[in-house]
Amino acid sequence: MSHTSSLPAEPALHPDTLFDGVDLRRLAERIPTPFHAYSASAIRARIDGLQQALQGLDATLCYAVKANSNLAILQLMAKAGVGADIVSSGELWRALHAGIPAQRIVFSGVGKTAAEIAEALAAGIQRFNVESADELELLQQMAAELHVTAHAAVRINPDVDAQTHAKISTGKAENKFGVSIDEARRWFDQAARHPNVRLDGLHVHIGSQILSVEPFRLAFARVAAFWRELEDAGHAIASIDVGGGLGVRYRDGQVPIAPADYAAAIREALGAFKGRLLLEPGRYLVAEAGVLLTRVIRVKQGDRRRFLVLDAAMNDLLRPSLYEAWHDIVPLLDGPRPHCRYDVVGPVCETGDTFAVERELPELRSGDLVLIRTTGAYGASMASTYNSRPLAAEVLLERGRHAIVRRRQSLEDMVAGEQPASHWESA
Ligand code: LLP
**Residue-level pLDDT at 68:** 99
Confidence of residue 256 (pLDDT cuts 50, 70, 90): very high
**Residue-level pLDDT at 12:** 42
Residues with Cβ within 6 A of ligand 1? 64, 67, 85, 108, 168, 205, 208-209, 243-246, 280-284, 319, 323, 377-378
Among 12, 192, 255, 349, the one annotated catalytic:
349
> Closest Cα partner for 44 from 15, 79, 9, 8?
79
Domain boundaries, the chain: 18-38+287-409, 109-279
Q: How far is the CA of 1 from the centre of ligand 1 (A)?
A: 44
In the annotation, is 62 catalytic? no
pLDDT one-digit tens code per residue, 314-362: 999 999 999 999 999 999 999 999 999 999 999 999 999 999 999 999 9
d(CA 311, CA 387): 13
CATH code for the structural domain at 109-279? 3.20.20.10
CATH class of 18-38+287-409: mainly beta
> Does 10 score more than 50 pLDDT?
no
pLDDT one-digit tens code per residue, 224-254: 999 999 999 999 999 999 999 999 999 999 9
What is the rounded (10 degree) CA torsion for 370, 373, 376, 382? -70
Q: How far is the CA of 409 from the centre of ligand 1 (A)?
A: 26
Q: How far is the CA of 244 from the centre of ligand 1 (A)?
A: 7
pLDDT one-digit tens code per residue, 405-426: 999 999 999 999 999 999 899 9
- Closest atom of ligand 1 to CA, residue 325: 25
Mean residue pLDDT across the chain? 95
Q: How far is the CA of 200 from the centre of ligand 1 (A)?
A: 24
pLDDT one-digit tens code per residue, 143-156: 999 999 999 999 99
Mean of pLDDT values over 293-303: 97
Residue pair 220/266 in contact by the 8 Å Cβ criterion:
yes
List of residues 6+ apart from 213 with CB closer than 8 A: 257, 261, 262, 265
Lowest pLDDT segment from 155-164, 222-231, 305-314: 155-164
Instruction: Indicate if 109-279 has the same CATH topology as 18-38+287-409.
Output: no
**Residue-level pLDDT at 167:** 86
